[in-house]
């Protein structure tokens, strides 16, 4: 671990002018994609790493933004960190449908000059990977040395290895799955219903903040482990005793309300709806009658899968299934299950085993 | 020892090393036999060393089963001096010959004369270079002799194709042929499922 920081980082923008067709059959009349880069591209152009973000992430992966906010993976991306910017040229982008600068529900629809809102077309992991490949061309990169991500980000890394086997040498798929379970889709559905049931949903001048906050509260619980919550809050009370009301009484209630509220002030409800659907629809094996091993036959990337013991949203079992499919397809795969009390969120936090596994795996050994 | 195991393995073979440790055997086989290797290991420090050697490794406990591996999906499955540390060696053997077209298994011989002497005259559980642990802290919970292992093979559907009699440092010693079960320190077997 290192305290070195990248300092202030700049957001850049890539504009794709041509129309971009989506898996759903819909088309975007061009798009804008914001991104950041860290470290230097070497002369051979063989040190570029794409870091894909998860549900609520964005292109600001590391360093400090203009308003002094740290990137979501700043603990792991920077000089001498797990993703060492002294060695690698690292790219983070905001995916289509996002709400942090790339074309999404808040963008103006060129067909009618009003914001897309709920009419923004559904996107998929395949669409994202295709758009990220346009960014790769724009940056003049012959290929990615590695594509990396946790959770929904890991699914993009996996999709990259399937769709563009010649354009990615290594993938790191962290706390992810080859497809969502029924339970996982069920959580997403409740999150969506919370937003859709908010009276401000689709209102012209108000935002469905209550619904979005609720969706986030639910999500947040699933990102933590039972143990982590017990340790952090236990049954601690705000005022030390019950007052027989529906006000905030337990610390955990206060925490969740705060998380929900602050999230609803910085995130867009339409984007949230969209992202949960991207997760639900993800199933690369679909193209091979559900046979994941067959789907992976085309993969050439060296693969590292990482899971965390207390993660129940994307449990280690899901990563093992993925590992087994790679093995069945006779691919070069390694899998590591890291002991962690932090649940799904563990993928965001550096630890010795985690950092050094990534560092070692990324090391070139020709 | 690596070289002896290498002699049993075809070039370009797909090899699974159960309990692969720091990955040195697979790294050796990759370099010398151009194998496509995969290791199983649970010690995270050792997994790290595998990654350093560019050896693919899966974090998996053999005792929890190997049902995730397809029938005959590897040309060779290697289990080097660890079958005696498993909870169910007989189940592991059946699995190994199911997964591998061939299996290479080495065992420390508990009926070696030094072990016998320690038990008879010392009256204590034997400690040796191949079995360096005290009885209470040893991971080796299912020790056996050559005879025991060969009976296990017969009882559980494994044909023995080859056997090599070695010293602790993995050197072939021809004098051991005189009385294998008494003189051998480590035995290396090549086995496969009975047809």
| pLDDT for position A203 | 86
Cβ pair A335:B48 closer than 8 A: no
For residue A70, what pLDDT is reported? Answer: 95
Is A264 a catalytic site residue?
Answer: no
Nearest-angstrom CA–CA distance, B53 and B56:
9
Sign (positive/negative) of CA torsion A40, A85, A344, A304?
positive
Chain B residue closest in CA terms to A327: B69
Report d(CA A199, CA A211) in Å as an integer: 9
Burial class (CB in 10 A: 0-12, 13-18, 19+), A244: exposed
Chain A closest CA to B107's CA: distance in Å? Answer: 27
Q: Tell me if residue A311 is catalytic.
A: yes
- Taking CA–CA distances from B49, the nearest residue in chain A reads A360
**Cα(B76)–Cα(B13) distance, integer angstroms:** 7
pTM of the model: 0.95
User: Tell me: the pLDDT tens digits for B2-52?
Assistant: 999 999 999 999 999 999 999 999 999 999 999 999 999 999 999 999 999
Quote the distance between the C-alpha of residue B128 and its chain's center.
17
* Of the candidate ranges A23-32, A153-162, B165-174, the one whose mean pLDDT is the lowest: B165-174
Indicate the fold that domain B2-193 takes in CATH. Rossmann fold (3.40.50)
Domains, in order of start, for chain A: 12-179+284-362 (3.40.50.1820), 184-276 (1.10.1740.110)
The single residue of A344, A345, A351, A355 carrying the catalytic annotation is A344
pLDDT of residue A355: 97
For residues A256 and A220, the answer to whether their CB atoms sit within 8 Å is: yes
Quick check: A308 contacting B, CB < 8 Å? no
**Structure confidence at residue A365 as a pLDDT band (50, 70, 90):** low
Residue A241 pLDDT > 80: yes
* CB within 8 Å: A336 and B44: yes
Check whether A235 has a pLDDT greater than 60: yes
- ipTM of the complex in this document: 0.93
Tell if the CB–CB gap between B48 and A333 is shorter than 8 Å. no
Tokens for A112, please give them: 């009618």
The reply to whether residue A323 touches residue B58, judged by beta carbons under 8 angstroms, is yes
Could you say which of B44, B52, B70 has the minimum Cβ distance to residue A353? B44
Asked if the model's pLDDT at residue B179 lies above 50, the reply is yes
What residues pair up with A335 in beta bridges, in sequence order? A305, B58
Q: Pick the catalytic residue: A311, A340, A351, A355?
A: A311
Cα–Cα distance measured from residue B186 to residue B165, given in angstroms and rounded to the nearest whole number:
6
The dihedrals phi and psi of A185, each to the nearest 5 degrees, come to -65, -35
User: pLDDT category, B130, cuts 50, 70, 90?
Assistant: confident
Catalytic annotation on A138? no
Tens of pLDDT, residues A307-349? 999 999 999 999 999 999 999 999 999 999 999 999 999 999 9
pLDDT classification of B1: cutoffs 50, 70, 90:
confident
Average pLDDT over residues A23-37: 97
Q: Give the number of A-B residue pairs with CB atoms closer than 8 Å.
A: 48
Say if residue A143 is exposed, middle or buried (CB neighbours under 10 Å; 0-12, 13-18, 19+): middle
Q: Where are the beta strands (DSSP E) in chain A?
A: 12-16, 20-21, 27-28, 31-38, 48-52, 77-78, 83-84, 89-93, 108-109, 114-115, 144-150, 168-174, 302-308, 333-338
C-beta separation of B107 from B185 below 8 A: no
Residue from the list B44, B52, B56 with its beta carbon closest to the beta carbon of A332: B56
CA B59 to chain centre: 18
**CA nearest to B59 within chain A:** A336
d(CA B71, CA B95): 9
Q: Are B187 and B168 in contact (CB under 8 A)?
A: no
In the predicted structure, residue A4 carries a pLDDT above the cut 90: no
Report the alpha-carbon distance of residue B154 to residue B93 in Å, rounded.
11
Give me the residue spans of the domains in chain B. 2-193
* A202 inside 8 A of chain B by CB: no
Distance (Å, whole) CA B29 – CA A310: 36
Residue A301's pLDDT band (boundaries 50, 70, 90)?
very high
Give B96-126 pLDDT, tens digit per residue.
999 999 999 999 999 999 999 999 999 999 9
DSSP string, chain B: -HHHHHHTS-TT-EEEEET-TTSHHHHHHHHHH--EEEEEE--HHHHHHHHHTT--EEE--GGG--TTSPTT-EEEEEEES-GGGSS-HHHHHHHHHHHEEEEEEEEEBTTSHHHHHIIIII-S----SSS-S-TTT-S--S-B-HHHHHHHHHHTTEEEEEEEEE-TTS-B-GGGGGSHHHH-SEEEEEEEE--
pLDDT category, A1, cuts 50, 70, 90? very low
Contact at CB, B48 and A356, closer than 8 angstroms: yes
Residue A196: partners with Cβ closer than 8 Å, 6 or more residues away = A211, A273
Burial (CB < 10 A; 0-12, 13-18, 19+), residue A237, is: middle
By DSSP bridging, strand B100-108 and strand B186-193 are antiparallel
What does pLDDT average to over chain A? 96
Hey, are the CB atoms on B38 and A361 less than 8 Å from each other?
no
Task: Decide: helix, strand or coil at residue A101.
Answer: coil
- Give B38-90 pLDDT, tens digit per residue: 999 999 999 999 999 999 999 999 999 999 999 999 999 999 989 999 999 99
């Amino acid at each position: 671990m290192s305290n070195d920081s990248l300092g202030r980082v700049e957001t850049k923008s890539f504009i794709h002018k041509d129309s971009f067709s989506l898996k759903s059959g819909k088309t975007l009349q061009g798009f804008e994609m914001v991104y950041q880069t860290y470290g230097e591209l070497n002369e051979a152009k063989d040190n570029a790493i794409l870091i894909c973000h998860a549900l609520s992430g964005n292109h600001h992966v590391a360093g400090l933004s203009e308003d002094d906010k740290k990137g979501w993976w700043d603990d792991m991306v920077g000089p001498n960190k797990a993703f060492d910017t002294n060695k690698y040229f690292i790219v983070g982008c905001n995916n289509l449908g996002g709400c942090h600068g790339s074309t999404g529900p808040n963008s103006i629809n060129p067909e009618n000059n009003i914001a897309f809102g709920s009419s923004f077309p559904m996107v998929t992991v395949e669409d994202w990977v295709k758009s990220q490949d346009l960014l790769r061309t724009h940056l003049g990169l012959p290929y990615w040395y590695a594509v990396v991500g946790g959770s929904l980000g890991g699914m993009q890394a996996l999709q990259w290895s399937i769709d563009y086997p010649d354009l990615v040498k290594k993938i790191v798929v962290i706390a992810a799955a080859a497809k969502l379970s029924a339970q996982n889709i069920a959580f997403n559905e409740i999150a969506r219903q919370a937003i859709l049931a908010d009276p401000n949903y689709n209102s012209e001048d108000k935002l469905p903040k209550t619904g979005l906050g609720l969706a986030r509260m639910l999500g947040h619980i699933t990102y933590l482990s039972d143990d982590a919550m017990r340790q952090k809050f236990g049954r601690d009370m705000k005022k030390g005793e019950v007052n027989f009301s529906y006000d905030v009484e337990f610390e955990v209630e206060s925490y969740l309300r705060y998380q929900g509220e602050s999230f609803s002030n910085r995130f867009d409800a339409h984007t949230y709806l969209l992202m949960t659907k991207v997760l639900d629809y993800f199933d690369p094996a679909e193209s091979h009658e559900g046979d994941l091993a067959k789907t992976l036959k085309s993969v050439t990337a060296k693969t590292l899968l990482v899971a965390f013991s207390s993660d129940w949203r994307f449990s280690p079992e899901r990563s093992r299934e993925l590992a087994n499919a790679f093995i069945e397809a006779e691919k070069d795969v390694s899998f590591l299950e890291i002991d962690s009390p932090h649940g799904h969120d563990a993928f965001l936090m550096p630890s010795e085993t985690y950092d050094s596994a990534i560092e070692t795996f990324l090391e070139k050994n020709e | 020892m690596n070289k002896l195991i290498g002699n049993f393995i075809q070039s370009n073979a797909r090899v699974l090393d159960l309990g692969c440790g720091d990955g040195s055997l697979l790294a050796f086989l990759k370099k010398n036999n151009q194998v496509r290797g995969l290791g199983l290991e649970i010690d995270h420090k050792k997994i790290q060393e595998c990654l350093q050697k560019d050896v693919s490794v899966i974090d998996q406990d053999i005792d929890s089963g190997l049902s995730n591996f397809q029938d005959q999906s590897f040309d060779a499955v290697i289990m080097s001096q660890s079958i005696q540390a498993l909870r169910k060696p007989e189940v592991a053997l059946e699995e190994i010959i199911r997964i591998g077209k061939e299996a290479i298994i080495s065992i420390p011989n508990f009926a070696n004369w030094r072990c016998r002497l320690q038990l008879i005259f010392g009256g204590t559980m034997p400690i040796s270079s191949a079995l360096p642990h005290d009885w209470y802290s040893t991971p080796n919970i299912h020790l056996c002799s050559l005879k025991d292992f060969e009976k296990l093979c017969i009882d559980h559907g494994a044909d023995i194709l080859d056997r090599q009699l070695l010293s602790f440092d993995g050197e072939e010693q021809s004098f051991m042929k005189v009385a294998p079960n008494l003189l051998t320190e480590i035995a290396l077997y090549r086995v496969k499922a009975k047809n």
